[in-house]
Amino acid sequence: MHRRVVVTGMGAMTAIGNSVKAFWEGLLQGKNGVGPITHFDPAQFSTRFAAEVKNFSFDGILDVRESNRMDRYTQMAMVAAHEALQDSGMDLEKIDHDMAGVVVGSGIGGIQSFETEHGKYIEKGPRRVSPYFVPQMISDIAAGQISIRYGLKGPNYATVSACATASHAIGDAARLIKYGDADIMVTGGSEAPITPMGLAGFCSMKALSSRNEEPGKASRPFDRERDGFVMGEGAGILVLEELEHARKRGANIYAEIRGIGFTADAHHVTAPAPGGEGAVRAMRRSAEDGKLNLNEVDYINAHGTSTPYNDKNETAAIKALFGDHAYKMNISSTKSMIGHLLGAAGAVELIVSVLAIKHNIIPPTINYEFPDPECDLNYTPNVPQERRVRNAISNTFGFGGHNACILVSKFE
């Protein structure tokens, strides 16, 4: 039996909005979430700005004791999961808890907790390290905490694949439903990497933009003047359901998860394969899995990190796969507004793709000022564009050569 998978709930925590509604409105306004780092003093770093979540609150969702035992990445995942489940309209008293699971990943996990406890160890010795250190730090604990909070007893684990983490989580969750292991999956990713060590590592790699004098213009995907990505933080959580399960309870259906494409570059630890060859195969596999002709894709939410090589390679991959149709699609990188959420990127960007389908509006790529002759597609520059969106692909490509593409379609 062919089981179809639909999206029935969504929750988001980003630098431009702490709910899906606020996030979407911010995207359409071209709101910029990038600014000076406030989590710590960044004076000695070569990059001193990021896309931080503002006014983060877990009131009514976590009490102080619970929150003190969680890393920031888990706190944000819990808040986004709460919103997604509320949005789904699901009565958790009436579901089969054995058929409801969680796959939520984090690329880096509890780095803030690691730094804090390591500081205690250096200053005061091993006896002062918190007994909660390990379960605060590990990358699977957000999935575990969501499962515990809501009594979801089906498949429960995390994926870790750098910037492709959340897309791998969502793809796995969809397949668990498709293959009959679950009827409901809570899935996505969360990341809180804006810490001294997190920033230091990326600065040393020279992967980040260093536009300290005008941070609001630093994240500029596909623009000729791009000079590196901007670190972001946040969470994106989706509720996926088997179609008949959703129909029986009268759920609001946003869109259908149609196809999944996972590949590897097998090339280099950080650089993409030449010409985006691995990305080509991942996008093609997502369309083949969804039994969709390539010319039926209307929108690509690009990985679009604002690094010189990534944007050029992703553009080349899109042109190599889609041919002339590449110029007829809309493409945008919402990282221009919220920065790069690393392991959470695929989840918030799939939420964008779903909303583009629901509202028939393409959010823009902001800070697009100077065309790059090697990046010559329609990146929806600076202002949103209305068009019918039937099918969209969300692209995520991670260090290690991990490629994950999710095809989402209007529900029919």
188 and 272 part of one domain: no
Q: Does a structural domain hold residue 152?
A: yes
Picking from 248, 283, 315, the residue at the C-terminal end of a domain is 248
Question: For residue 317, what are the domain limits?
Answer: 258-409
Q: Which residue has the tokens 């149709």?
A: 325
Does the annotation mark 359 as catalytic?
A: no
- Could you give phi then psi for residue 122, rounded to 5 degrees? -65, -40
122 and 44 part of one domain: yes
CATH of the domain at 31: 3.40.47.10
Residues sharing a CB contact under 8 Å with residue 249, sequence separation 6 or more, in sequence order: 89, 90, 91, 94
Does the annotation mark 2 as catalytic?
A: no
209 and 275 part of one domain: no
Q: Does a structural domain hold residue 253?
A: no
Closest CA to 359 of 368, 369, 351, 367: 351
Rounded distance between C-alpha atoms, residue 253 and residue 88, angstroms: 9
Q: Quick one: three-class SS letters along the chain? A: CCCCEEEEEEEEEECCECCHHHHHHHHHCCCCCCEECCCCCCCCCCCCEEECCCCCCCCCCCCHHHHHCCCHHHHHHHHHHHHHHHHHCCCCCCCCHHHEEEEEECCCCCHHHHHHHHHHHHHHCHHHCCCCHHHHHCCCHHHHHHHHHHCCCCCEECCCECECHHHHHHHHHHHHHHCCCCCEEEEEEEECCCCHHHHHHHHHHCCECCCCCCHHHCCCCCECCCCCECEECEEEEEEEEEHHHHHHCCCCCCEEEEEEEEEECCCCCCCCCHHHHHHHHHHHHHHHHCCCCHHHCCEEECCCCCCHHHHHHHHHHHHHHHHHHHHCCEEECCHHHHCECHHHHHHHHHHHHHHHHHHCEECCECCCCCEECCECCCCCECCCEECCCCEEEEEEEECCCEEEEEEEECCC
Q: What is the pLDDT of residue 275?
A: 86
Closest CA to 397 of 289, 339, 332, 314: 314
Rounded distance between C-alpha atoms, residue 321 and residue 282, angstroms: 10
31 and 154 part of one domain: yes
Closest CA to 235 of 273, 274, 186, 279: 186
Residues sharing a CB contact under 8 Å with residue 96, sequence separation 6 or more, in sequence order: 183
Q: Does a structural domain hold residue 359?
A: yes
Q: What is the pLDDT of residue 274?
A: 87
- Give the number of other CB atoms < 10 A from CB of residue 86: 12
Q: What is the pLDDT of residue 1?
A: 56
357 and 235 part of one domain: no
First to last CA, the chain: 18
47 and 143 part of one domain: yes
Picking from 224, 248, 272, the residue at the C-terminal end of a domain is 248
Which residues in the chain land under pLDDT 50? none
Q: What is the pLDDT of residue 271?
A: 85
37 and 78 part of one domain: yes
74 and 195 part of one domain: yes
Picking from 248, 274, 299, the residue at the C-terminal end of a domain is 248
Catalytic residue among 303, 375, 402, 405: 303
Catalytic residue among 82, 168, 245, 340: 340
Q: Does a structural domain hold residue 385?
A: yes
Q: What is the pLDDT of residue 92?
A: 96
Q: What is the pLDDT of residue 375?
A: 98
Q: Helix axis angle, 141-150 relative to 72-88, nearest 10°?
A: 40
244 and 354 part of one domain: no
Catalytic residue among 82, 163, 402, 405: 163
Does the annotation mark 340 as catalytic?
A: yes
Domains held by the chain: number: 2
